[in-house]
Structure 1
Amino acid sequence: MSWDIWTRDLWALPFATMEAWRRALELPLEPHREGPHWSTPARLVLEVGLLRLWDFSRDGGDAAPLVILSPYALHDAQLADLAPGHSLVGALLARGCTRLYVVEWASATAQTQLYGIDNLLAELNVAIDEIGAPADLIGLCQGGWLSLLYAARFPKKTRRMVIVGAPIDMRAEPSVLSEPVDRTSDFALDRLIGAGGGIVRGAHMAPLWPREDCAEQRIVDALQIAPPFDSATVAAFQAWDRRLLDLPGPYYREVIQYLYRDNLLAAGGFRALGRPVDLRALDHPLFLLAGSQDGVTPPAQLLALKDIVRRDVETAVAGCGHLALFMGRRTLENEWRRIAQWISGQEADGGR
């Protein structure tokens, strides 16, 4: 399998070598490409700092808002609405989740280059207030731990959460990201941030992320389709894959230190907007979706949350890798069908 090339020898990973760091830091800066390009009609309802809130709703009525938090990492929010048949947004709308929003995070600029995790939480809080709390949250990858932080900091503004492919407990199982991060020196981090003038450039990050050797296999794994491919779908995926986000230096450093090195989300001690938060205090309905072949976030890193929170947790493990959790055809048809039913089935339990 394509994931095997990432797990045979962690020290053989491209981003774990000094040569890869040298290549990454010598890349010329490229202008940020505009995006995302939604496949489902949407309107922009709020823009503040790094956050853009998009409304995909279809006559949602009095239903609680359902908010998809995209990851603030290498790629943009179109992973939630890539193309027909590969759209989480489309799958949820078709299954009755009709009051639906997506949080998009923008590339860092000179105005936002000093942003940290607290800035993202504050802007998310503004967005939730804008559409009306309490809200249901779907956190994808890095958006998953941010959803949990928000719910722990503002428990009355959150009803239930779906956490998908998110790194929660780094000690539960090593990944193609967590172990090399542990071995990366502060000097290397300083160089990476300094090379972008205080911003971690997507062009610098891209060589440090794991990737299949074969471009065709990457499409097969991510979209769960077989050749011959639909040209429009592949073009949408490749355009998304090429669009890279730039991240604020402080945010990037905090994620590396607090989440990956110190494991504060699982161990406790994470501070959010001036207060310590503890996931053990969470009492929200939770659904966890992991990928059995996910080398970026192995299932154990996410499913460890079951032993941290104090209530029963629904879980599903899809037979796929990381990207297919969000855009894979089979995963959207199967696991996300169950999740949509779970969201709708608890509609009557109200807020807290």
Structure 2
Amino acid sequence: MTMIEYVRSRSMPLPLVYNRLALEWMGAVSSMLKIYDTYSSIFYKALMMLLQEDGVSSKENPYMRMLNIMDAMLDEELKSERFAHLLTDYLDSWLSIHAMLKRIYPVRHYDIMLEDILAEQFRSYTRMLSFMLSTQNLPIDASGYDVVYIKGKVRLLHYRGGKGYPILIVYAMINRYHIMDVSKDKSVVRRLIEGGLDVYMLDWGHMGYEDEHLSLEDYIHILDEVVDKVREVSSKDRISMLGYCWGGIVSLIYASLYKQKLNSLIVMAAPVDFDKDDGILAVWAKAIDARRLVEEYGHMNGQALDIAFLLRNPVRYTVMKYLNLWKRINDRAFVETFYAVERWLYNTPTVPGRFYEQIIEDLYKGNMLVRGLLEVDGKRVDLKSIDIPLLTIVAENDDLTAPASTLAVNDHVSSKEKRVMSIPGGHVGLCISSIAHKQLWPNVARWVIEKARESSIEEANGRSVGGGKENQG
């Protein structure tokens, strides 16, 4: 059946359908051109400012100076209400087109096909890069592990060589866990093992169309099963948990509901007070209609997120990084890390629609986590109920999660032991920068062990007191 035959079978007037589609298409094109004009205008203005500047040191790289000018201009413009309106106008027009097409013709298989094509473009890029840099044999995981739990696409990885107190890393759902074990020299997992910890990783896997129904509650249920498995394998009643980015959000929620299973919590670069998250992506997230997006597509496409990440600063996140690569092309360790990060960066999984909608609407827009309005399975999530030792980790120049948003967690929990660790650099630098591996992660391991020991002593004293009372009775 052709589209025209399908429309006629639904008794819909073709002229009206075509007129509305044409109007929405024109609106989408108009918004897209305005967005393009915003970027090109900033590039042109930065170039003109560079050419008109007086007194610039001859030793200063003109290209870097122009990039710095563009950084400031992009940061201001892309957070503005004007740009947010442009973005929402474009998205609204596109979603309206999709809604009309969906009403008159089954477009689901076209959505799947187009998303597969987009994903293949990113995979082709990483294959080409691998060929050019001779990194075809570079393993995805730098450290060996055993899979000790599987549920659907979710796996629990237990890394070999670890000993001592267990720590569970809860990674974000909008990327894969590989950045925590990206290479031998840049492996957070290895630093923690070297620090004397027994390391476990929660791998959320690649969610697909069949997982669109998964909600925040489902993620919490899975996390609880995983925690119980870690307790079983490690033979420990309590474990330490490290939540990174959106994984930190879920970890906080979990800790408020099941703190008795944890002896310490680490929140790393996770948005907590969303009113204080003024990063570009947070501003955009607060502007879009997540409910409508999920209603149309059922999920948030991973490659669409990749494009959004690039649009924060197209020149710096495309041209600049390849110039840096060229400068250090003879540094094999740098080249391999560069490729490993690129491979990780463009392997973004689909985010289930229900979960994505809850995160955007309830947290980014409603800020319900710190306001005490969020509920999971009918239970109110109260951050004040968290009284276990808390470590907050931030990157000083994080442009994905504002440090102020993460640090705000200390104002909303009841923990007596609160510590903050910070390093220069950005969001990903927490995992791959030299200073992170030389200073941050050894300190994190020592803190976890110290708090785990204190927890063990408290438990032993509690049992001793309890036993003494029973004997007296």
Indicate the TM-score class for this superposition, using the shorter chain for normalisation. 0.7 to 0.9
Measured after TM superposition, the shift of residue 30 of structure 1 is 1.8
Match of 1:176 among 280, 289, 302: 280
**Higher Rg:** 2
1:1-352 correspondence to structure 2 within 5 Å: 4=72, 7-9=75-77, 10-11=79-80, 12=83, 16=87, 18-19=89-90, 28-30=114-116, 37-60=140-163, 63-73=164-174, 75-97=175-197, 99-132=198-231, 133-186=237-290, 189-191=291-293, 194-195=296-297, 198-209=298-309, 210-212=311-313, 213-214=315-316, 215=318, 217=320, 227-228=328-329, 229=331, 230-310=334-414, 311-350=416-455
Mark the CA change 1:341 to 1:151 in structure 2 (over 3 Å): closer, same or farther. Answer: same
Mark the CA change 1:239 to 1:286 in structure 2 (over 3 Å): closer, same or farther. Answer: same
Residues 194-237 of structure 1, C-alpha deviation per residue, up to 9 Å, x if partnerless? 23xx222212332223544233645899x9xx834532222211
SS of residue matched to 1:154: helix
Query: Would the aligned equivalents of 1:70 and 1:142 in 2 still touch at CA under 8 Å?
Result: yes
Unaligned runs of 5+ in 2: 1-67, 99-110, 124-138, 232-236, 460-473
The structure whose RCO (Cα within 8 Å, separation 6+) is larger is 1
- After the TM superposition, which of the residue ranges 248-257 and 338-347 deviates more from structure 2? 338-347
Query: Would the aligned equivalents of 2:280 and 2:312 in 1 still touch at CA under 8 Å?
Result: no
Residues 114-137 of structure 1, C-alpha deviation per residue, up to 9 Å, x if partnerless? 000111110111111112142100
Query: Would the aligned equivalents of 2:383 and 2:413 in 1 still touch at CA under 8 Å?
Result: yes
Mark the CA change 1:59 to 1:235 in structure 2 (over 3 Å): closer, same or farther. Answer: closer
Query: Would the aligned equivalents of 2:306 and 2:346 in 1 still touch at CA under 8 Å?
Result: no
Query: Would the aligned equivalents of 1:7 and 1:295 in 2 still touch at CA under 8 Å?
Result: no
Unaligned runs of 5+ in 1: none
SS of residue matched to 1:101: strand
Paired amino acid for 2:328: P
Query: Would the aligned equivalents of 2:162 and 2:199 in 1 still touch at CA under 8 Å?
Result: no
SS of residue matched to 2:362: helix
Rounded Cα–Cα distance in structure 1 between residues aligned with 2:380 and 2:227: 21
Measured after TM superposition, the shift of residue 306 of structure 1 is 1.3
Query: Would the aligned equivalents of 1:299 and 1:317 in 2 still touch at CA under 8 Å?
Result: no
Mark the CA change 1:44 to 1:23 in structure 2 (over 3 Å): closer, same or farther. Answer: farther
Give the structure-2-normalised TM-score. 0.65
Rounded Cα–Cα distance in structure 2 between residues aligned with 1:89 and 1:5: 38
Rounded Cα–Cα distance in structure 2 between residues aligned with 1:336 and 1:348: 18
SS of residue matched to 1:86: coil
Measured after TM superposition, the shift of residue 29 of structure 1 is 0.9
- After the TM superposition, which of the residue ranges 254-263 and 12-21 deviates more from structure 2? 12-21
User: For residue 64 of structure 2, what is the aligned residue in structure 1?
Assistant: none
Measured after TM superposition, the shift of residue 48 of structure 1 is 0.8
Rounded Cα–Cα distance in structure 1 between residues aligned with 2:72 and 2:320: 13
User: Which is richer in helix?
Assistant: 2
Residues 44-79 of structure 1, C-alpha deviation per residue, up to 9 Å, x if partnerless? 11111342111114252xx33200011011x21111
Measured after TM superposition, the shift of residue 112 of structure 1 is 2.0
Mark the CA change 1:218 to 1:252 in structure 2 (over 3 Å): closer, same or farther. Answer: farther
RMSD between superposed Cα atoms in Å: 3.0
Mark the CA change 1:238 to 1:155 in structure 2 (over 3 Å): closer, same or farther. Answer: same
Mark the CA change 1:110 to 1:242 in structure 2 (over 3 Å): closer, same or farther. Answer: closer
Rounded Cα–Cα distance in structure 2 between residues aligned with 1:172 and 1:220: 34
- Percent of aligned pairs with the same amino acid: 20
Figure out how many residues of one structure are paired with residues of the other and give that number: 340
